Amino acid sequence: MEPQSESKATQATAEEDWSAVFVHAGAGYHSVPNEPAHREACASACRAAIAFLKNGGSATDGVEMALKSLEDNEITNSGYGSNLSLDGTVECDASIMEDSGRSGAVGAVRDFKNPSALARLVLENTRKPLSLKRVPPILLVGPGACDYAKQHCFPLVDNKVLVTRHAHARWTKWRKELDIAEHEGRAVNKRQRACRNPSSTSKTAAEKATMKAPMQPDGEDLVTDTVGCICVDRWGNVAAGSSSGGIGMKHRGRIGPAALIGVGTWISREGQSVVAATCSGTGEQMAHTLIASKSVNRMMTMEDEIEALGKSIEEDFMGSRIVKESIMSSAVGIMAIKIDKDSSKDRIRFLYGHTTDSMVMAHMTPSMKDPETIMSRNRNNPETCIGGKSIQACKLAME
């Protein structure tokens, strides 16, 4: 009996522990003076998630904890400290997806400190049947999401609590710039109506007045995009999620990619292979290109994951007609992982790519004392900046 018990123990200690957490705090422009704060925001999110994963928590638990940590940090554009809408209020989007295909999401919600937690509630309730064979929702928005939260005793906060001093200062600055641009546009239109054949100079001035965008001074961030997380639990289950306050000066009710499965977040499982991605960038263009799902599909089918990610950014996003013909600035950042549990290398492939000036990320496994943070800076903007590395799976110690 003793040799058999010893054999079982040896076999148990050889099992893989796939636990790992990967987070990003948005693609955009991260100022050098604020770089340490952005790195620490990602590191703190990793620590929050790994604490759950090390104690047997699920991948979904890890994603929720990481996103909540990012939402509570005012330097990120999610939850507390989000960009403000045109009327000066905070509206947030969030989603969480599991490799089973289940998901939960909320959009344009205004009275929640942690929209990711509400998305988790929606996700969990998809497992519960409703009376009369009704189908549980997977995406709730606006007042309907608020009613749903109240029904489930989910905590609400006053919207003013979510507005930080820095966010309000940005909004005030952009509000003045927008008022000036609109005044210039009206003046140009008035001159054009007074002239039957407006000159090309007038047209150019009108276009500039219409397309004028807020500019950031040196030392100020311009990160208007989604934060995201991908977690793997010890059994190799994968979950991913996104959270965002959306673009500054947006219309109330605007739904961004953080709430849209397949756009901001996507996971695909085929046999023992899993690919997950969470994205950041110009939301409307991401929605038109379905960039999360397309990048995952390429990484699942192509042998070289780095090449697959590069092709997805260059061809599926930047090469798409909707992006080429857009009058808006085009930007995307993708963080992804690929696992093949049939592989003898016991590894997780960590990948990222972005067309923006910068993208900040971090990752952590149970064997790491501290998270490893990355501030990827695009030296050849607007070229695509690509990176990646292999993360070794730990061995699960069992008695």
Residue with tokens 């930007």: 331
Known catalytic residue at 226: yes
| Dihedral sign (CA 70, 74, 78, 79) | positive
> Does 75 score more than 60 pLDDT?
yes
Q: Which of 60, 226, 356, 365 is catalytic?
A: 226
**In DSSP terms, which residues pair with 141 in a beta bridge?**
107
Tally of CB atoms within 10 A around 244: 32
What pLDDT, in 10s, does the model give residues 114-169? Answer: 999 999 999 999 999 999 999 999 999 999 999 999 999 999 999 999 999 999 99
In this structure, are residues 29 and 222 in contact, taking their beta carbons and an 8 Å threshold? yes
Encode pLDDT of 32-74 as tens digits: 999 999 999 999 999 999 999 999 999 999 999 999 999 999 9
Note the pLDDT of residue 393: 79
What tens digit of pLDDT does each residue of 350-375 get?
Answer: 999 999 999 999 999 999 999 999 99
For the stretch 189-238, pLDDT in tens is 777 776 755 444 333 333 333 333 334 444 566 655 789 999 999 999 99
- Domain extents in the chain: 16-161+222-395
Which CATH superfamily includes the segment(s) 16-161+222-395? (Glycosyl)asparaginase (3.60.20.30)
Round to whole Å and give the CA distance between 167 and 389: 35
Q: Per the omega criterion (within 30 degrees of 0), is the bond before 36 cis?
A: no
Return the pLDDT at 176: 94
- List the Cα angle 159/162/166 in 5-degree steps: 130
Q: In terms of DSSP bridges, do strands 273-281 and 385-392 run parallel, antiparallel, or are they unpaired?
A: unpaired
For residues 90 and 74, the answer to whether their CB atoms sit within 8 Å is no
Query: Residue 72 corresponds to which amino acid?
Result: D
270/371 Cα distance (integer angstroms): 29
